Structure 1
Amino acid sequence: MPIGLCLICALLFSACATTPRSHPTSHPTSHPTRDGTVDVYQLVRLGPLAPGDGRTFSLERDEILWTRDGTRLDRAQLAAKMRAYDVVLVGEIHASRAHQAWQARIIETLATTKDRPLAVGLEMLPRQVQPVLDKRQSFPDERSFVLKIGWYRHWGHDYRYYRPIFRAAAAHTLPLLALNGPRKLNRALARHGLDKLSPRLRALLPPMQLRSADHRRVFIKMINRSASRAGAQLRAQRHHHGTQHEKPHRGHGRDRRKSPVHSTTGHPHRMTHRHASSWLDRYFAAQVLWDATMADSALRYLSRAPRSRLVLLAGAGHVVYGVGIRRQLLARRPQLKVLTVMPVRVPPTKPNARGIKAARLISAGVADVLIGVAPPRPSDRYPSLGVKLEEQILETKRAGSTSVLKVVGLPGKETAARRAGVRVGDVIHAIDGNPVKTVFDLRWALVDKVCGSALTLRLERGGEKRTLTLTLK
């Protein structure tokens, strides 16, 4: 997928909007703003809503909120709500333990109801691996399955975050559905636009509903948000390296990078017409294609298994406000009942001086169900060696051609590898006695490790064999 789209998806949930779909006429009183402790979402007015109609709720950690009427649910009540829907669309921040844990929990909950056959759709995998997913039960172990689906080639995020999802599906022998399409199609659309696609690529397009002022407005907001964050990161890097006084590039203003559609007015239509409308049209079409492809994959499955219920797992940008996958599903099958669920990061719930807990004030339009989760902590991340590796082919007299892992970089000053004495140029041969010849071998050697785990590295340096012991962090 285009790099720009990846960035947009990664940051899409950091700025928000009021609901683009209608809600019941009753408007419950919103919880008050919690002094200065509230992380208030930016609101974008969508559709026909008048300025006063945008409802917000205060969401605390471990709360489950039904945004249709502001009801707080327990897990049993959430399960009862979900049973009324054909498709449960669950958003995520990629590689976030709390988000993937809730996705796995929802799969478990719906699998145990047994009222309808259940299948799980995954944004993470392209349709081309569907034959492998269909034969999952025939694989001798988890490692061979993950290797065969090309997890790190297609997705890249650490498999360990998504392991609970695959285990929940396997425990109930649920079908897995690859939702994504070919990357080359998204890239071509983003670069050239619909009119300039080749006939061969146009034949791959699913039915798409491109016209949506709400979706376009949210999309523009997210591009500007991502550009603003990228500029902040750039300034921080310059400050860190002592180059913050360098002259900015021409056209970037005061040392900040703007997206091609940036506007200080905040008016999306002015952004479109005054700046790069062609660029925006192409990238918006690519984003819609992404949503439409996943919706198409889901509808194809439901055509084959009409009694089934689907749980679709996708990034927040495809779920929030119902303008992504949900809109594409309902455009083609209006009678389909689609529920959107979004875990939302909420600051720690420590009462302030007035005894009021920290919370997040959030638009009711983000999703039908909002779940308050804790922000990630350092202990939540999975450990790594802290090395940059390259697979190389060596020619030896005894074994002929063989693959080895060579250390080509040591990013960071306090990594486990650096502290243990690993050096650039080392060739890693084994971890805890298990041979490693590829990056996947090394990743899988760490799959059951946690921060603080000790392991042994067998490596070669300048023709000399060495053994190092390190503690993961």
Structure 2
Amino acid sequence: MPTRSSFMKRFLPILLFISLAILGGCAGPQLTSGQVSAPYTHLSEELEVGKILHLPTGRDFTEQELYAYLGTQQVIYVGESHDSVNDHEVQLKIIAALNERFPGKIAVGMEMLRRPFQEDADSWVAGEMDEKEFVRTFSKSWGRYEYYKDILAYARDNKIPLLAMNRAKSQMGHGKMKKMVEEAKEGESEMKIPAEMAEAVEKMKEPPKPYEPELSEDDPYYEEYIGAFFKGHGDGKPEIARMFIKSQMLWDETMAEMGAKYLDEHPDKKLIVLAGGNHVRYSFGIPRRLFRRHPAPYAIVSPWVVEYPEEKKAQLMDVDVPELPLRVADFAWGVGYEDLEEGRILLGIQIADSEDPAGVAVLGVVDDSAAAKAGLQEGDVLTSLDGVPLKEVFDLTFELSKKEAGGDGILKIIRDGEELDLPVGYRTLDHGKDK
């Protein structure tokens, strides 16, 4: 839920996304890696919104030509920047087109679904789980459901299997990892690694257990490319960079193993893999590792941001992406950048679950926000929104995700033992300012 800090200008340093999600799909690399090793084209000059380029030849493709080509492959990788609406539109177009051509013969593998949630994904596709419960599951597995809502709804409506490809979340929180790196940057003579991380690093040196994927560490281009995103962090300490590279590798190997296993068990299926761009670009992430296990023809489509709003450019990572003697993808599809932040309804409160009374406790209120204008105060407990009971924080965030800017609602609260109804306006926030 929003806090004061979440209303401040958003920055995207790599350390804030220590989970490696930023490596998978940050928009920055799409703008900084214009020098692509395709024989006949230079993406920064040749690509425009809506244009599809076949990178091995530089030939323009229509959408229908692309779909026909992809239909000849068993595995289709479609990269993404996780917060790019247009990237997800490209993904949905490809899924729908291939489903029309090969009904009942495709599956969608997702980085955003972690292995422990496979049963939930199956229940969703089978129509046995309502949207609210699935959003709760998805939020635990990944985060913002809204970016994937149309894709997941299409899979459910067309009974397309969803494959949970990603490994379970690390037991070590982002905060601890970030603190470790910051301490190293402050000039400590020796990097202080918490016991749980030290144990994890040691386990990486051991032979893989039956439930862990085998790691292939013989790709210098992979290390050079992924390592570029950590350059300048951790005070240049190689052990930190190595730790993150190996973590990224473990993600890629896990997703590759899950994809290969699925294809071994379903040889008549085509698998469309949705993953952050850096998991599929240059083939050395998931594609090469899946091919090692299941050698089947594949193609990579990379949605490529060629138009970026001026006001968003300050968010981009400053990464010196190395030039590699590899092709970044088979196809680049030009898109403009658009996220969902502008239309996001935020009340402007810090919140937590409340047990007595049951509901959502208000820990703080942002000045001039919708909550402040409604008269919410620290210590209030929210119990319903527009008649829908609020038993926990998730209930509030889910209900707000369905509201439209400009509307109004009623918050039922408990304050000092008294029940009150407060009218509240549904507004978006721009750097903490109510709109």
> Per the shorter chain, which TM-score range?
0.7 to 0.9
Structure 1 stretches (4+) deviating beyond 6 angstroms?
A: 185-190, 198-201
Match of 1:139 in 2: 128
Residues 379/3 of structure 1: CA separation in 2 closer, same or farther (3 Å cut) = closer
Once the two structures are superposed, residues 75-94 of structure 1 have per-residue CA deviations (whole angstroms, 9 ceiling, x without a partner) of 21121121111111111111
Q: Is 1:385 aligned to 2:347, yes or no?
A: yes
The structural deviation recorded for 1:198 is 9.0
Higher CA-based Rg:
1
Residues 116/348 of structure 1: CA separation in 2 closer, same or farther (3 Å cut) = same
Counterpart residue identity of residue 146, structure 1: V
Q: Is 1:90 aligned to 2:78, yes or no?
A: yes
Match of 2:4 in 1: none
Residues 327/393 of structure 1: CA separation in 2 closer, same or farther (3 Å cut) = same
Q: Which runs of 5+ in 2 are unaligned?
A: 1-15, 174-194, 311-322, 429-435
Mapped to 2, the partners of 1:177 and 1:28 lie a distance apart of 36
Give yes or no for contact 1:193–1:282 (8 Å, CA) kept in 2.
Answer: no
Residues 177/30 of structure 1: CA separation in 2 closer, same or farther (3 Å cut) = closer
Q: Secondary structure at the match of 2:275?
A: strand
Counterpart residue identity of residue 166, structure 1: L
Mapped to 1, the partners of 2:274 and 2:94 lie a distance apart of 10
Alignment of 1:27-106 (within 5 A): 27-28=39-40, 30=42, 57-106=45-94
Match of 1:222 in 2: 229
2:304 to 328, 344, 351: 344
Residues 166/189 of structure 1: CA separation in 2 closer, same or farther (3 Å cut) = farther
Residues 98/320 of structure 1: CA separation in 2 closer, same or farther (3 Å cut) = same
Match of 2:287 in 1: 326
Q: Secondary structure at the match of 1:365?
A: coil
Q: Is 1:445 aligned to 2:407, yes or no?
A: no
Match of 1:34 in 2: none
Give yes or no for contact 1:119–1:174 (8 Å, CA) kept in 2.
Answer: yes
More off after superposition, 426-435 vs 455-464: 455-464
Mapped to 2, the partners of 1:18 and 1:208 lie a distance apart of 29
The structural deviation recorded for 1:103 is 1.6
Alignment of 1:234-383 (within 5 A): 258-260=232-234, 262=236, 276-333=237-294, 335-347=295-307, 365-376=327-338, 381-383=343-345
Mapped to 2, the partners of 1:307 and 1:166 lie a distance apart of 22
Mapped to 2, the partners of 1:303 and 1:408 lie a distance apart of 51
Match of 2:363 in 1: 408
1:421 to 375, 389, 402: 375
Q: Is 1:178 aligned to 2:164, yes or no?
A: yes
The structural deviation recorded for 1:339 is 1.3
1:213 to 220, 231, 255: 220
Give yes or no for contact 1:186–1:286 (8 Å, CA) kept in 2.
Answer: no
Residues 116/338 of structure 1: CA separation in 2 closer, same or farther (3 Å cut) = farther
Once the two structures are superposed, residues 410-454 of structure 1 have per-residue CA deviations (whole angstroms, 9 ceiling, x without a partner) of 35x553323333222221111111111112211221233233333
> TM-score, with normalisation over the residues of structure 1?
0.71
Mapped to 2, the partners of 1:185 and 1:301 lie a distance apart of 27
Counterpart residue identity of residue 3, structure 1: I
Mapped to 2, the partners of 1:178 and 1:463 lie a distance apart of 45
Mapped to 2, the partners of 1:433 and 1:115 lie a distance apart of 42
Match of 2:20 in 1: 5
Residues 30/303 of structure 1: CA separation in 2 closer, same or farther (3 Å cut) = closer
The structural deviation recorded for 1:460 is 2.4
Residues 372/424 of structure 1: CA separation in 2 closer, same or farther (3 Å cut) = farther
Mapped to 1, the partners of 2:226 and 2:26 lie a distance apart of 11
Give yes or no for contact 1:220–1:261 (8 Å, CA) kept in 2.
Answer: no
Residue identity (%): 28
Residues 94/221 of structure 1: CA separation in 2 closer, same or farther (3 Å cut) = same
Mapped to 2, the partners of 1:433 and 1:200 lie a distance apart of 55
Residues 13/404 of structure 1: CA separation in 2 closer, same or farther (3 Å cut) = same
Give yes or no for contact 2:354–2:381 (8 Å, CA) kept in 1.
Answer: no
Counterpart residue identity of residue 415, structure 1: S
Q: Secondary structure at the match of 2:110?
A: strand
Once the two structures are superposed, residues 152-187 of structure 1 have per-residue CA deviations (whole angstroms, 9 ceiling, x without a partner) of 22212x212211011111121101110011223898
Residues 186/285 of structure 1: CA separation in 2 closer, same or farther (3 Å cut) = farther
Give yes or no for contact 2:381–2:413 (8 Å, CA) kept in 1.
Answer: yes
Give yes or no for contact 1:19–1:321 (8 Å, CA) kept in 2.
Answer: no
Give yes or no for contact 1:12–1:222 (8 Å, CA) kept in 2.
Answer: no
Mapped to 2, the partners of 1:320 and 1:175 lie a distance apart of 24
Match of 2:145 in 1: 159
Match of 2:176 in 1: none
